[in-house]
Amino acid sequence: MLTKSTAILLKKIKYGEKNLIIQTYTKEEGSKAFFVGSSLLHGKSKSSLPALSVVEIVAAKGKGDLLRAKEIELKQKNYELISNMHKSSLVMFLNEVLLKAIGDYGQDETLFDFITTSLMILDQQQENEVNFHLKFMIELSKYLGFYPNGQHNASNPHFDLYEGVFCSDQPIHRAVISHDLAKIFSQLLKCSIIESNVVEMSNKDRRAILSGIIDYYKIHIEKFEELKSKEILETVLS
């Protein structure tokens, strides 16, 4: 029996000399792995299935839970995400975030649609995209169950990363975004992902906000580790 899946490509693992195992997040079933034989890869370059590409996969049951891909077709061709250095660096970072956050996640069609729509926006965006990753991670937390609560104001100048809420008193722990950074964080919460570029901040503040958001993920997602691509992204965007 053949199945058809629309999938976001998260990871490619070389299997043997010419085969691949690809880890994906599918619209229909959530996280799924597929075996891709050499016959499907014949004549294709390594870049023919870029990170976070959206593909349609026709597959048959393989060994265990692993499905064997019979056909793979690229569905969403995000050319700018490959050719633009800034955008390709963002994709590399977002790919790592998604792999750690939803690498073993169940089916959620709204989450799938959010990711694919966001990638399309990034691909088509003509404005400066230096804040895109910050807003993406904030919005992603909504689907993962720990979206920030409350509002930043003079009475609530701190954001407690453990509680996920703006608060009046400085927490006794150090997992907090405070004062000017909390104000910027609040502005990112209020804008759309398309408008994220209009939130003004220095490179120093952008790095601090990103570190705070990553810490927020570490607190709320078990085994969410350091992101190796963070330093590369910050260098490219600086």
Give residue-wise pLDDT tens across range 186-198: 999 999 999 999 9
User: Length of the chain, please?
Assistant: 238
- The pLDDT assigned to 43 comes to 59
User: What is the pTM (predicted TM-score) of this model?
Assistant: 0.93
CATH tag for 79-237 (out of 1.20.1440.120, 3.40.50.2300, 3.30.43.10, 1.20.140.10): 1.20.1440.120
Q: How many CA atoms does the CB half-sphere of 71 hold within 13 Å?
A: 9
Beta-carbon contacts of 12 under 8 Å, excluding residues fewer than 6 positions away, are 20, 21, 22, 23, 49
Q: Provide the CATH number for the domain formed by 2-76 in this structure.
A: 2.40.50.140
Q: In the chain, list all ranges with CATH 2.40.50.140.
A: 2-76
Number of H helices and number of E strands within the chain?
Answer: 8, 8
Higher pLDDT, 179 or 65: 179
Quick check: 4 and 73 in contact, CB under 8 A? no
**At 82, phi and psi to the nearest 5?**
-95, -45
Write down the pLDDT at residue 57.
95
Residues of the chain with CATH 1.20.1440.120: 79-237
Tens digit of each residue's pLDDT (9 = 90 or more) over 10-21: 999 988 888 899
Residue 45: predicted pLDDT? 55
Residue 155 DSSP class: T
Reply yes or no on whether the pLDDT at 206 is more than 90.
yes
Kindly indicate the confidence band of residue 46, based on its pLDDT and cuts at 50, 70 and 90.
low
Between these two residues, 65 and 138, which has the higher pLDDT value? 138
Distances (CA, A) of 176 to 107, 157, 220: 32, 10, 14
* Mean residue pLDDT across the chain: 91
The pLDDT > 90 percentage for the chain reads 72
In this predicted structure, what is the pLDDT of residue 49? Answer: 83
* Tokens coding 82: 């490959």
Cα angle 111-114-118, degrees, rounded to a multiple of 5: 145
Instruction: Residue 9: name the closest of 115, 108, 168 by CA.
Output: 115
Rounded Cα–Cα distance for residues 44 and 229 (Å) = 26
Mean of pLDDT values over 50-74: 88
- pLDDT tens for residues 25-38? 999 999 999 999 88
Query: How many other CB atoms are there within 10 angstroms of residue 219's CB atom?
Result: 15
Average of pLDDT values for 49-59?
92
pLDDT for the residue numbered 41 = 72
Compute the average pLDDT of residues 102-130: 92
Q: Which two three-digit tokens encode residue 32? A: 């799924």
Percent of the chain with pLDDT over 70: 96
pLDDT of 237 reads: 87
